Amino acid sequence: MFSQIIFPGALPSILVGLRYSLGLMWLTLIVAETIATTSGIGQMAMNAREFMQTDVVVLAILIYALLGKLADTSVHFLERRILQWHPGFKCSSLLLWVAAQSVGHRPGRIEPRAIKRRPKPYPLLTKPRHEAREDIKKQKHPKKIK
């Protein structure tokens, strides 16, 4: 039961947590290397900052960015590979996801043919709350039957 139902159902959340934790890991690593180390990319950047070597500082930033992007892309590839059965990972276009969000669909149920225009709201719902209350008060209510 665990390997057939529970673990596959939890895999999307596990992999999202892995991507999130990788981002926090890189942030922590950069801060730690910058503050308290005697070697590494952060120390190289700090030495370059002290001697006004902006090209080395920019290089260190680019190295961190590339390593972070490589880690995120590798986990994203792993998600696509492992979660081929999941309907939320079948759509590969970010544009379709954004379009579906603007229409109001849930992100796990995106299909290209499911994107439609929003229906126009009811006119009563478009008024501000205080105007709607006044309209309701002005309406004549039927007399109570005794």
> Is the Cβ–Cβ distance between 100 and 108 less than 8 Å?
no
Whole-model pTM: value is: 0.55
Rounding to the nearest 10 degrees, give the CA dihedral for residues 5, 6, 8, 9: 100
6-32 confidence digits (pLDDT tens) = 888 888 899 989 999 999 999 999 999
> Is the Cβ–Cβ distance between 83 and 15 less than 8 Å?
yes
Closest among 44, 74, 73, 75 to 61, alpha carbons compared: 44
Confidence of residue 125 (pLDDT cuts 50, 70, 90): low
In this prediction, residue 117 carries a pLDDT of: 58
In this prediction, residue 67 carries a pLDDT of: 93
CA distances from 56 to 34, 44, 45, 107 (A): 14, 8, 6, 41
